[in-house]
Amino acid sequence: MVLNVYADESAITGKIIVISGYMGTPDDWGNAVKRWRIVLKNYRVKHFHFRQFNSKDDCDKPSSPYYKWSWKKRDGFFYDLAMSIGQSLIPVGCDYDLERHRNDGLTMNHYETLFKMFFQDVALATSRHFPQMTSHDRILFVCDGNPNKKWTDTFKEVHASVAKAVPIFGGLAFEDDERPAHCGLQLADYLAAIFRQNVEEKRKTGAQRKPRIIDIIVFRNLGAPEPSDFNFAAMPQPIFETMIEAMRMDEQRQKKEWLARGVNRKYYPHEHADSIRSIGQKIAHKNLGKVKQWMQDLPHIESAFGKRPKSA
């Protein structure tokens, strides 16, 4: 078995640094990247870079692919990209508090600590989601090219050290995320930015941020795949899509209501379970065909549910 990890950095200068991305089989990546490219093509965007998309100054330039986009179009594009990532990719990543590092007078290479934690998280995710991996299998790492030589040199050093102790940790490469062969880096860039937003919020409040709709999508497979863990890994894709659609419809309804009342609040799905459920029941019929098709396309469905008896 071969697994690929695509990872990228996101940071707030002097405060927080994050490295995050996704892990999956070549088939998982092939399917996710295909869907990702379809979304880009539909919106006439050549490459996705979160920093460009999120920058008001860049988006105000006629050269920007997002020039004069409406809020509705931006929102649709952002969520369509998230949903394209798919069902199988596993999020991995970690962060480091640069502000605390400085305030505590620490002098060690903070990149080294960050990268060691990153490889530990990859090892944990592998044990949870790919327990069948053996010493003959390999995990290949691809990171976005970084002009910071200290970053890349430290990453190479930590990887070489860890790979001696963990045989399944295979090669490491730094690539350009605009090259077609490494489009997976754009997905990693997307996740790293969301990851950093959550870390930033936690630093401010001291508590884990309540999950937003986007968090439910991009961290869908976070944690162990068992039903006891909080994720939606086992949920059939058409049902997951229906749930997310209901959440987004409810968010829009709720925000309109808050605006009319002059209330400034953030929308968190778990606080609106009843209204989401009600909307989901109303729109579920639209996806019945997708559910049936999903069942027909399931690989090894007979072995999973038991072979059907032959007709007499």
Reported as a single tens digit per residue, the pLDDT across 81-91 is: 999 997 889 99
Instruction: Tell me the sheet residues that pair with 167.
Output: none
What are the tens digits of pLDDT across the range 42-74?
999 999 999 999 998 888 899 999 999 999 999
Higher pLDDT, 303 or 20: 20
% the chain with pLDDT above 90: 66
Q: Which phi and psi (to 5°) does residue 300 adopt?
A: 55, 35
Tokens representing 72?
């509705």
Q: What is the pLDDT of residues 88-140, one digit of tens each?
A: 899 999 999 998 898 888 888 999 999 999 999 999 999 999 999 998 999 99
Q: Which class is domain 2-218?
A: alpha beta
| pLDDT, mean of residues 273-294 | 78
CA distance 2 to 232: 24
- Amino acid of residue 195: F
303 vs 265, higher pLDDT: 265
pLDDT in tens, 205-223: 888 888 999 999 999 998 7
Q: What is the mean pLDDT of residues 298-311?
A: 37
The Cα 187–Cα 58 span in angstroms is 20
| Mean pLDDT of all residues belonging to the chain | 88
pLDDT at res. 230: 57
291-296: average pLDDT = 58
Distance CA 21, CA 183 (A): 12
In the three-class reduction of DSSP (H, G, I as helix; E, B as strand; rest coil), residue 139 is classed as strand
Residue 293 predicted with pLDDT over 70: no
Q: Which long-range contacts (CB under 8 A, 24 or more apart) does 292-300 make?
A: 293/238, 294/236, 294/237, 294/238, 295/236
pLDDT at 227 over 60: no
> Could you give the residue range(s) of every CATH 3.30.420.10 domain in the chain?
2-218
Helices (H) and strands (E) counted in the chain, each on its own, are 13, 5
pLDDT for residue 53: 94
Residue 310 has pLDDT above 80, yes or no: no
Treating both helix axes as pointing N-terminal to C-terminal, what angle do 184-205 and 26-42 enclose, rounded to 10 degrees? 90
- Classify 144 as helix, strand or coil: strand
pLDDT tens digits, residue range 151-183? 999 999 999 999 999 989 999 999 999 999 999
Alpha carbons within 13 angstroms on the beta-carbon side of residue 252 total 10
Residue 305 confidence (pLDDT): 32
Query: 142 by DSSP, 3-state: which?
Result: strand
Phi first, then psi, for residue 292 (nearest 5°) are -65, -40
